[in-house]
Structure 1
Amino acid sequence: MRQHAVALSVPRIFQGPTQHFYSEDQTDVTHWSLRFKVGKFVFDKGLALTGISLMVGVALVLLLLNPLLNPGPLFFRQTRMGKNGAEFRMWKFRTMIPVDESQMRKADGALEQDRITPLGQFLRTYRIDELPNFLNVLRGDMSVIGPRPDSASHAKHFAKVIPHYNYRFKVKPGITGLAQIESGYAEGIEATEIKAHYDQIYVETSSGRLDLYIAVRTILVMLTGYGAR
């Protein structure tokens, strides 16, 4: 396996055994075995059904808490860019003070910390805000594990200035991924470039053992809040 552009904390036993190289014009990965494809499909749909059931319970609680602690709509929907550059509407529980879409931050803008409500911060810390993503997994827009999708406007900008950014479009985007457990939230071009390196590594080395490691690391964050960004 070649030397990666960024450091990996993934134990070698969980890293993909082989690194597969893809050209820019290849629109799909070819090293996934039928067993891995079927396992990933079953894992996605099974977890999505469980996640949606949990989402409904959380939504009922938030309907009571939001008027006092997080006034505004229950859900946040935004156009994101997925596999092969296809756009889709991603669902989340809203964690920020609502603003008009034209006022949302630009691709190279700083994170709007002042817009995150206290309840929203709690939802973010334990990844509860992402439970509605399972609606997108059930629809087939996303997978549970893969590159985290950026907003369509940001993705178009990053694709122009980060050469390896487009690697992420060879697989379905995920609720969680290698970049999230290795580098956390990406703010700005430099951090997004690092994130894109991890996304490229995932595309080139994705395997069942790597997905398992990402899933376990994500569950630890959800249970403890440790490592959340």
Structure 2
Amino acid sequence: MTQISTRWRSEARAAEQTCAKDALPRLARAPVPAVAARPGVVKRAADIALSLLLLPLLALVSLCLLALNPMFNPGRLLFLQIRMGHRCEPFVIYKFRTMTDVAEIRRSADDPLEVDRITRLGSLLRKTRLDELPQIINILIGQMSFIGPRPDSYDHAMVYLDKIPGYRRRHDAVPGITGLAQTEVGYVQGIAATRRKVAADVFYIRNSGSRMEMWILWRTCVTVVMGRGK
């Protein structure tokens, strides 16, 4: 399965050498085979089964946070945000809140992450990826999968659609909690870095299959164990 990472890095380097200014987005403009409107039966069944198994963990973490939040992360338990999903349709994503509670978020599509708002408890949740756990609800509803392109804020995504070649194509697949962009590119901020994420997402769609899914799952487990989440 290491061939997947090697192929991805090889394509990325080739694109950078060919055209520095518009390097990785060239991968996103490459022909993309038609993909299923929804995950295959096996993948969908696996998503549902794993989500049901994780429901007790979701309940346990929720209870712990309800007890800890008043002291270490005052405010609402959940963070709800409109994201761009499959076929560019909006949906509400669920996360455990990791930042100080504010009435309105003003971060634009090209602004850096507001790290000053991340609480100590929130930082732990982000490093272990436990903040993403409530998204099993999105999976059970059918809005997400465990593996797929990570959905962006809807407002930011509308900007990326206009400024990043190939951005729309990453929405040919159902969005996921984790994906190739998260394991191989990492957390990205701003329009320039999002171009690299798009290239990885389209590479995933073009090469989707059981080996790709297992590779991403393995790499995600490594990220969680090593505490590399952000």
- Who is 1:123 aligned against? 125
Q: Any conservation in 1 of the 2:32–2:202 contact (CA below 8 Å)?
A: no
Instruction: State which of 26, 31, 54 in structure 2 corresponds to 1:21.
Output: 31
The residue aligned with 1:86 is: 89
Cα pair 1:178 1:199 within 8 Å, conserved: yes
CA, structure 1 residues 37+189, in 2 after alignment: closer, same or farther (shift >3 Å)?
A: same
Give the corresponding residue for 2:206: 204
Kindly report the root-mean-square deviation, in angstroms, between the aligned alpha carbons of the 2 structures: 2.2
The correspondence for 2:183, drawn from 181, 184, 198, is: 181
Work out the CA distance in 1 between the residues paired with 2:77 and 2:42.
Answer: 33
SS of corresponding position for 1:110 = coil
Q: Where do residues 7-46 of structure 1 align in structure 2 (5 Å cutoff)?
A: 21-22=31-32, 29=35, 37-46=40-49
Shift of 1:87: 0.6
CA deviation vs aligned residue, 1:1-26 (integer Å, no higher than 9, x gap): 8962358xxxxxxxxxxxx9338xxx
The corresponding residue for 1:60 is 63
* CA deviation vs aligned residue, 1:5-57 (integer Å, no higher than 9, x gap): 358xxxxxxxxxxxx9338xxxx515x9x9x8122111111111122221110
The gaps in structure 1 that reach 5 residues or longer are: 8-19
- The answer to whether the 8 Å contact 1:78/1:91 transfers is yes
1:100: how far off?
A: 2.2
Distance 2:120 2:223 in 1: 19
Aligned counterpart, 1:228: 229
Which stretch has the larger CA shift, 68-77 or 103-112?
Answer: 103-112
What is the DSSP-based 3-state SS (H/G/I as helix, E as strand, rest coil) of the residue aligned with 1:131? helix
Q: SS where residue 149 of structure 1 aligns?
A: coil
The match for 1:75 among 61, 75, 78 is 78
Indicate the SS of the match to 2:166: helix
Q: In the alignment, is the contact (CA less than 8 A) between 1:179 and 1:199 conserved in 2?
A: yes
Output the TM-score relative to the length of structure 2.
Answer: 0.85
Q: How does 1:107-146 map to 2 (within 5 A)?
A: 107-146=109-148
> What secondary structure, in the 3-state scheme, does the structure 2 residue paired with 1:189 have?
helix
For 2:54, the equivalent position in structure 1 comes to 51
Give the AA of the match of 2:120: P
Task: Report sequence identity in percent.
Answer: 45
Which amino acid in 2 is paired with 1:87?
A: P
What is the CA deviation profile of residues 80-125 of structure 1, one whole-angstrom value per residue up to 9, with x for unaligned ones?
A: 0101011100000000011123x33111011100000000000000
Instruction: Give 1:16's aligned residue.
Output: none
- Alignment pair present for 1:213 and 2:215: yes
Q: Which amino acid aligns with 1:40?
A: K
Rounded to whole Å, the distance in 1 between the matches of 2:62 and 2:106 is 24
Give the TM-score, by structure 1 length. 0.85
Higher helix share: 2
Q: Distance in 2 between matches of 1:104 and 1:137?
A: 28
